[in-house]
A and B are shown apart, each in its own frame.
Chain A
Amino acid sequence: MTSIAKPQVRHPGLPKNALGYTKRDYEGAMSTLCAGCGHDSVTAALIQAFWELDLPPHRAAKMSGIGCSSKTTAYFMKQSHGFNSVHGRMPSVTSGASAANRGLTYIGISGDGDSLSIGMGQLCHAIRRNVRMLYVIENNGVYGLTKGQFSASADIGSTSKKGEANVQPPIDPALLALSLGATFVARSFSGDKTQLVPILKAGLVHDGFALIDVISPCVSFNDHEGSTKSYRFTREHEVEMTEVDFVPIRHEITTKDTDSAVTAVKMHDGTVMRFRKTHEGYDPTDREKAYLHVRECQGRGEVATGLLYIHRGGADMHKVAQTVDRPLAELPMSELCPGKGALDKLMDSYR
């Protein structure tokens, strides 16, 4: 199957963002995923988030590995460069791209196979390196492209389409990220765009690695009775820890929050994110408690969603490497090559 370009249809009445783009301008090629796939909803939420944030598409880079989820980078922002790399290795490619050009917004789309099995080492180390990027895991508990094998995020007892129960313990990317020192950890559901869009926006402007685990059901292989990654199961077992409200910079905040459950966090670009604790006693700025709460939910068979943890001001990869503010790829040779004089002098020290 070849890729399918979306027909260009003019909709003069569509609202435009500050850059003069409509949401259509943030779309990509036609999706070739199954009808009803959770991933297509995530793509739609991403488009909404980019549009609302006035993100210039050509200043973003879409990064992915291999799998159904990784294909989706072709379905949004056709005006952006995209890099569909090898299975599980998107984090390293993004690290390198970011090292070369820190001026771009990196959007990584991955899946549970790509991130939690073949590429788990790369995910862990990108978190440790704190590469500034949005990292979305479209998590459905199965390998879709190879027709329904369990992935590492499948819960114990969750059954396959053929009725076989998974016996190996699941890897929860949110708990993993929390334990590795990630500075932004969230979980959402492809079927809950109201929750997902503000989280994506917050992740996009976070000053470090922002991991968002999105439960995104596979309609072909994992949406049946007995699956714990189905639409129905997720809806029935979702427990929201925090509700995120994202205020873009151009909107002046006029009302003062009087609700003690609301916390405002100023992001690095001046935008403000407010989150409301909807779960008794939950504090998304306390890593240890957050870990405990998410773990307890897991034990009860619940899916903890919302912004699970945030820490601002951590040192990202460039801060640690102490690189110059300008993208390294744009430095002229005259600034990089020491020249003949320096070499001649240096050679004297090898005598």
Chain B
Amino acid sequence: MIIIPDANSIISALVKKGKALELFEWNDLSKEIKFLAPENLSIEIRRNISLIVEKTGLLESEITVLLNKIEAQIEFIPTSKFKKFLAEAIKISPPNDFPYVALARFLQSDGKNPTILSNDKELLKSLSSRAIEGISLHELLFKLKLI
């Protein structure tokens, strides 16, 4: 199963008693999901680390440990691979989500069947009409029989 986690799905793993962390823990052991993401996502998450520190109340060193553990499971795809799908994605996806859609389109063109993981209802709704699969964390955990 190929999953493209959006920024929220990754950040949700830092919520106390949240389910996203369980997903990453389960997958670290089972390796059933292949997580793929646009390469700049990691850079953008790190750029917002002071805000993450502020909101979580955790130390920066602890956030780094958490992010390293989660990101170790994600393969960050170089922009050069899906650059040609950016223009189309800009046209068909919600304005703030097109990098994920561009990556999904690239993977589809390569014969793969990716699913975008997001808790953003707006994005999930828009994907259903664009022949790209989207799934919420709750739905994914249910599908994997983890809840």
A and B are interacting partners: no
| Interface residue ranges, B against A (CB under 8 Å) | none
